[in-house]
Amino acid sequence: MLFDLDGTLVDTIGLIVASHRHAVTTVLGRDLPDDVLRSGIGRPLIEQMRVFDPDHADELLATYRTWNHANTERLLAKYPGVDELLVALDAAGVQIGVVTSKARDAVDLAFRILPPPVRYRALVTHEDTTSHKPGPEPLLHALQLLGSGPADAVYVGDARYDVEAARAAGIASVAVAWGAGDRDSLEAAAPDAIADTPQDLAALLGVEM
């Protein structure tokens, strides 16, 4: 089982949107609607910043990261039921990995604040591959670390980029509706299944919480 991190395992959406808004207003002197600020969640930050303003992407990224790290402890939250799902999967003998576009230091910070309830057997961050979601390389790298193959894996994420990455890697996908992506956009991405709650996801995966 491979999981996305932001918006899937931990509730960082409010933190991310607030960090984007701070960066955009500080660097560009203007605001953007929430749907624009949320639209790139799941892709590397620098790519999101290039969408906001390609000429100021590096400055936007630096401003984002400074504010984000300073406010992570205040705004990071759990999704009810996710920890219980992970514990149930681990107890069933499932190898669990995390594949995220987040930078390693930001992941380490999040895990210090909200320690995972189980040991992740693979952790792939932005620095670990040269190409990123929606391409397949991060997922395939995680499977290599786990000694597994696409036919034996499922990738769970909250954005269309997660579904697209799973499809490119030949991995089954489950989209979750509690994160950044709205249900219409998730359905349009055509995942193998959509789960509205962690309990729904557990039922899809055949484990008891």
In angstroms, the CA 37 to CA 48 distance is 9
Spot the catalytic one: 4, 90, 158, 162. 4
Question: How far is it, in rounded angstroms, from Cα 22 to Cα 10?
Answer: 21
> Is 4 an active-site residue?
yes
Show which residues are catalytic.
Answer: 4
